[in-house]
Structure 1
Amino acid sequence: MDWLERTAELRQWTRGGARAPHKPLLLLYALGRFQRDTDGELRYSTVEDDLKRLLDEYGPPHRTTPAYPFHHLVSDGVWEVRTDRGPGSPGSGVRELRSLGATGRLAPELRAALRREPSLLGRMARLLLDLHFPPSLHAELCGSVGLEPGPTEPERLTTVVRRRRDPRMRERVLTAYAYRCAFCGYDGRIGTLPVGLEAAHVRWWAFGGPDDVDNGLCLCSLHHTLFDRGVLGIGDRHRILVSPRFAGRSPAAREHVTALAGRPLIGPRPDARPVAAVHRSWHTGQVFRGGPCPAAAP
């Protein structure tokens, strides 16, 4: 059985590019727990808060329940659920999962394959990360689920991930924005080499975002992470949005985040294409956390 193919083909609700990372997040969490205890089960009532936190931090902006993936991941052949009544999930209702003592864990065949081939776990984790989340969040997400995926050879995944990133995108985007962060204007270099500047996808590559300049922003490392976490966004007339859910009391938080609200993007150059409306709309609906903050006082 090809577990990488099965991982890549998790059945998910989808419509118009909407994000639904519920199953990938549960599977990453289960892989992390498997690393620490290969025979352990996950009791729903015990892990519910952990899964809620993951969905809140890394899922789409709208509210959802961890009961959905806990039940539905069974249909993908990588997960099993038992209750006090025996094998089988009682459904996707929170009350049933709690009252019947539902527990879940990786399917027996998958657990056996992971024991035979320990490197499989890292390849599965890397595949889930690449297919559902931007690179800026990978290390943080692994830490959140207690996962140590280890090194993975990219060529081992090319037969499953048939789309390849364009390595030229970074240079094209940084050039279009004159090597300055589009949010804060940072333009650090060591000699002639830019440092701390990255090419961010507005519509994530994992969700069909093209490697084109009009789907890119040159951002410093801080603002790239905040953009991918939904703290920052792009509104009408290419003005910066700041999530009302962001909280920071320090002068640095105000200067580097809150004060950005309402400011126009810096760049791109006149001969480069600005961020396309279709990509801005996707980010606002699928990543940005809530409505915009009021513009900072001048």
Structure 2
Amino acid sequence: MGFGVFIHRTDSIYDDSPAEQYQFPGQYLGRVKACVGDWIIYYEPRKVAATRGYFAVAKVAQVIPDPKAPGMYLALIERGSYLDFVNPIPFNGPDGVIERGVLNEEGRISGRAQAAVRPVSAADFNRILSIGLAEDESELPRSGEPVEAPSAVGFSDGGQAPFVFEQERDRVIQLSSRIVRDRLFRRLVLQAYDKRCAITGLKLINGGGRAEVDAAHIRPVEANGPDILSNGIALSGTAHWMFDRGLIGLSDDLEILISRQANDPDSIQGLLNKTGKAIVPNGISERPHPQFLRWHRESCFKQ
């Protein structure tokens, strides 16, 4: 087992769904197999317009031949392991390249940087995670919400941990903890939506500095919904309640739908923003994905 970097483009010609599978040709089979049972980082190349750089982490569960494409393979992502970074990371940082394993002995970028799949050292992996998951300003919890303080152990270059296995243990805890993942997902969604409810358009901040908006999963975690931004939406408390109970939904083109079973549709209509469509981020990769919206309409929305 070992860490890896998988290159993925939003406009990829491959049959990729980062939270579910990664398609690749046979030339990379050995490298991908080396990552089975361990974590990889997704990277979007610099040549892509508005590139996200290093943008997510996920765990590879298994590798299988692609049944639909001879000569191609699929790296299947472990369910529930995918996590978008709060902070996308550029290839080059203030101190040079973030992934130092792509440098040759002379300190120059080598051909390894062009490989669609490549191994990455534990030091580079932890360095990328320490930036990608850093929380400069933690979101204030609601009263009664569980809180787990973020730990830098295993995600930092600074200081020397006494044992390697302790670093590994803390890293896995960070990536697997539901409390930590919920906190990071909330921060990611609120950041993308500018703390504004997608349904009402309201942006309310209470006296304690907390945004009165929730980060909702469109397809819930309990129904195998991933912690990916395109499966998230910012909703005020009332809108969140209605969305979860199927009183409102969204079409693929983001039109707000009101259930025929709602007892007071006129009042619900009065809560909607004037456009009648969800207010979402500009980036395509940040908007609700049609597959998650479709799941909500078919499994939750009351027609």
* TM-score normalised per structure 1: 0.39
* TM-score normalised per structure 2: 0.38
More helix by share: 1
Q: Which has the higher contact order (CA 8 A, sep 6+)?
A: 1
